[in-house]
Amino acid sequence: MRHILLTPGPTPLPPEILEILSKPIIHHRTSEFKKILNRVREKIKKVFFTDSEVLIFASSGTGAMEAAVANFFKEGDKVLVIEGGKFGQRWSEICKSFRLQVLKEEVEWGKSLSKERLSEILDSNPDIKGVFSTLCETSTGTVFDIKGYGELLKDKECLLIVDAISGLASEVFYQDEWGADVVVSASQKGLMLPPGLGFLSFSKKAEKFLESSDLPKYYFDVKKYYKSILSDDTPFTPAINLVIALDKALDILLEEGMENVFKKFEKMSQAVRKAISALGLKLFSESPSQSVTAVISPVDSVKLVNLLRTKYKVSIAGGQAHLKGKIFRVAHMGYISYQDLFLGFLYLEKALKELGFELKELSSLNKLKEYM
Ligand SMILES: *Cc1c(COP(=O)(O)O)cnc(C)c1O
């Protein structure tokens, strides 16, 4: 039986990617690899919607988050972290590790922060050097108003740093147009690859901050990666096979067209929301993302996730921290398809029933079908 992954990272891999990953390794200090890196370099900008370089680390997404903190600030700088879930909290933890002065704006999990509220905070704290946000807060299935935040920060000496790890290539997002100054992402979500690549891109405005940063760094020294990428090179051994697979993943995305990709996930997320409500269930988020849907679980979601995984070979995600047992999350990003969702919901219905929740059978499937 095929295992169906409906988790917000890792996500399923397309067959073309699996095939590439099975090929023998090549050496990275060769013209062959340089050519690949050059192609990747140009194509990945189109996914971020930026003219800036996108740096590639051999790391998970958190490595790129750490690089975003360590390279653009000075010890003691005051920064604002918008904290509406597990990954917002991670920004605070990293900033504190690097001895930044962290002002936290705690948002109730499942809610977003309004542009107006951010404007108030900025007015009463004119010395803030950076605002850290999450595009899609994966732990709550919530999308944040990056465009609105960018408008506020455009003419200020303050950077907008965005965790687009789960949001990239599924959530509508335009790095340059929206004024996102430092953007990080990773390979194992919308990009349809295994984990192992972290990405970071920065704006012209962020260059000044990069020059004056005095925080310690070595592996994640952005200047080293920037200097190398300009000659299609990397400062250390890259995750060679993953970069080669990325070349293909970018072709798949760009062939489909980013606007079509955004539309696809908008529609898919609507289908999932309708399927959820057909089961008589409620969404957890008040600002639901189009990458992952969080649902208030009518049964212990730890049991639900386990039953689905062990008996039906379907992986969904549960809740984290205080939401443990309370919510479950279904992803619709990357290579996740309607077929996957259809089977996933078939077994979700079965598992919910087995755990004592009464539902109208096939109701969610009938809803999904309307969108397929
Ligand atoms: C998955 C995820 C991360 C963590 O990335 P790792 O690759 O596990 O380090 C960070 N932020 C968000 C929003 C995510 O979804």
- What is the 280 CA–ligand 1 centroid distance (Å)? 30
230 & 281 share domain = no
CB of 60 shorter than 6 A to ligand 1: yes
Which of 238, 255, 272 is the endpoint of a domain? 255
CATH code for the domain of 339:
3.90.1150.10
215 & 262 share domain = no
pTM score: 0.98
214 & 234 share domain = yes
182 & 262 share domain = no
- What is the 164 CA–ligand 1 centroid distance (Å)? 9
146 & 291 share domain = no
67 & 46 share domain = yes
Secondary structure of the chain in HEC code, one letter for each residue: CCCEECCCCCCCCCHHHHHHHCCCCCCCCCHHHHHHHHHHHHHHHHHHCCCCCEEEEECCHHHHHHHHHHCCCCCCCEEEEEECCHHHHHHHHHHHHCCCEEEEEECCCCCCCCHHHHHHHHHHCCCCCEEEEECEECCCCEECCHHHHHHHHCCCCCEEEEECCCCCCCCCCCHHHHCCCEEEEECCCCCCCCCCEEEEEECHHHHHHHHHCCCCCCCCCHHHHHHHHCCCCCCCCCCHHHHHHHHHHHHHHHHHCHHHHHHHHHHHHHHHHHHHHHCCCCECCCCECCCEEEEECCCCHHHHHHHHHHHHCEECECCCHHHCCCEEEEECCCCCCHHHHHHHHHHHHHHHHHCCCCCCCCHHHHHHHHHC
46 & 64 share domain = yes
pLDDT digit string (tens) for the chain, length 372 residues: 789 999 999 999 999 999 999 999 999 999 999 999 999 999 999 999 999 999 999 999 999 999 999 999 999 999 999 999 999 999 999 999 999 999 999 999 999 999 999 999 999 999 999 999 999 999 999 999 999 999 999 999 999 999 999 999 999 999 999 999 999 999 999 999 999 999 999 999 999 999 999 999 999 999 999 999 999 999 999 999 999 999 999 999 999 999 999 999 999 999 999 999 999 999 999 999 999 999 999 999 999 999 999 999 999 999 999 999 999 999 999 999 999 999 999 999 999 999 999 999 999 999 999 999
CB of 9 shorter than 6 A to ligand 1: yes
Structural domain containing residue 214: 15-255
Instruction: Single out the residue of 331, 28, 63 nearest to residue 184, CA to CA.
Output: 63
Which of 227, 255, 283 is the endpoint of a domain? 255
225 & 101 share domain = yes
- What is the 287 CA–ligand 1 centroid distance (Å)? 19
CB of 190 shorter than 6 A to ligand 1: no
CB of 292 shorter than 6 A to ligand 1: no
CB of 298 shorter than 6 A to ligand 1: no
CB of 7 shorter than 6 A to ligand 1: no
- What is the 159 CA–ligand 1 centroid distance (Å)? 21
Structure token digits, residue 173: 């997002």
61 & 208 share domain = yes
Task: Write down the pLDDT at residue 2.
Answer: 85
79 & 227 share domain = yes
- What is the 319 CA–ligand 1 centroid distance (Å)? 15
Which of 222, 255, 288 is the endpoint of a domain? 255
Atom of ligand 1 nearest to the CA of 198: 7
Structure token digits, residue 69: 């903190």
Q: Give the separation between CA 266 and CA 260, rounded to whole angstroms.
A: 10
CATH code for the domain of 117:
3.40.640.10
CB of 165 shorter than 6 A to ligand 1: yes
306 & 249 share domain = no
Atom of ligand 1 nearest to the CA of 9: 1
- What is the 165 CA–ligand 1 centroid distance (Å)? 6
Total number of domains in the chain: 2
Nearest residue (CA) to ligand 1, atom 15? 166
364 & 324 share domain = yes
- What is the 187 CA–ligand 1 centroid distance (Å)? 10
CA geometry: angle 295, 93, 208, nearest 5 deg: 110
CB of 138 shorter than 6 A to ligand 1: yes
Atom of ligand 1 nearest to the CA of 189: 1
